[in-house]
């Protein structure tokens, strides 16, 4: 494979590699699908996933009979900032993200790791395993803890259940790494994380009643 092909990755690589190995077309196609899935998942987490996931989490809690917890959490974290100020803050955040695009760094890291043959996707799963669970439980932390103590309580909660979060993260990251299907598994994984929160609330309620 020439350096020119590397510079034009991924378009020239399958064609040039066909002369070396007949199966290279399929492996190159799989790599392109893997990269596109990783980029799609990363961008959806930033721009598409946050609002629907919040509403989905609230719907699941409500359907499982935790409407009181949901309402109490919203009241405890009620922000009295006016709508005009909220719009101004939103308009200020958007240009700041464009001028200082620090959000693109995790995407580049995942992209580069995926380019490593064989072990690249495994490294991505390992890296994401410890963060994906707490990320999907962010709405739970927002509702359960007041903003003044949220970060401390959140870290204590995660540390106490670190093994569970890593186990969940490995399974969730593996499913989301699947080409094409990974985006759909993102929502099913989030539903599983939401039901996990319901189980934690149930056990907490049972512990208080005994």
Asked whether residue 60 is assigned to any structural domain, the reply reads yes
Asked whether residue 162 is assigned to any structural domain, the reply reads yes
Asked whether residue 66 is assigned to any structural domain, the reply reads yes
Q: pLDDT tens digits, the chain, 210 residues: what are they? A: 444 444 444 544 555 454 555 565 666 666 666 667 666 776 667 667 778 888 899 999 999 999 889 888 888 776 555 555 556 555 555 555 566 566 677 767 777 777 777 787 788 888 888 889 999 999 999 999 887 788 899 999 999 999 999 999 999 988 988 877 888 888 899 999 999 999 999 998 888 877
pTM score: 0.71
Which three-class secondary structure string do you get for the chain? CCHHHHHCCCCCHHHHHCCCCCCHHHHHHHHHHHHHHHHHHHHHHHHHCHHHHHHHHHHHHHHCCCHHHHHHHHHHCCCCCCHHHHHHHHHHHHHHHHHCCCCHHHHHHHHHHHCCCCHHHHHHHHHHHHHHHHHHCHHHHHHHCCCCCHHHHHHHHHHHCHHHHHHHHHHHHHHHCCCCCHHHHHHHHHHHHHHHHHHHHHHHHHHHHC
Asked whether residue 159 is assigned to any structural domain, the reply reads yes
Asked whether residue 47 is assigned to any structural domain, the reply reads yes
Asked whether residue 50 is assigned to any structural domain, the reply reads yes
Which domain range does residue 74 map to?
38-209
Number of domain units in the chain: 1
Asked whether residue 128 is assigned to any structural domain, the reply reads yes
Asked whether residue 73 is assigned to any structural domain, the reply reads yes
């Amino acid at each position: 494979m020439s350096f020119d092909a590397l510079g034009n990755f991924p378009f020239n690589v399958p064609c040039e590699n066909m002369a070396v190995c007949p199966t290279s077309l399929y492996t190159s196609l799989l790599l392109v699908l893997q990269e596109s899935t990783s980029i799609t998942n990363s961008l959806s987490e930033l721009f598409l996933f946050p609002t629907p996931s919040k509403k989905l989490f609230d719907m699941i809690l409500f359907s499982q009979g935790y409407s009181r917890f949901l309402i109490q959490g919203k009241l405890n974290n009620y922000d009295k900032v006016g709508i005009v100020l909220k719009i101004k803050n939103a308009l200020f955040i958007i240009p700041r993200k464009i001028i200082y695009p620090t959000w693109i760094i995790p995407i580049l890291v995942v992209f580069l790791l995926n380019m490593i043959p064989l072990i690249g996707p495994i490294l991505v799963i390992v890296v994401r395993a410890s963060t994906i669970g707490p990320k999907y439980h962010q709405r739970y932390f927002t509702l359960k803890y007041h903003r003044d103590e949220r970060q401390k309580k959140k870290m204590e909660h995660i540390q106490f259940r670190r093994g569970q979060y890593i186990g969940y993260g490995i399974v969730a990251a593996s499913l989301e790494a699947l080409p094409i299907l990974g985006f759909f598994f993102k929502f099913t994984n989030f539903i599983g994380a939401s039901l996990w929160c319901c189980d934690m609330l149930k056990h907490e309620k049972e512990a208080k009643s005994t």
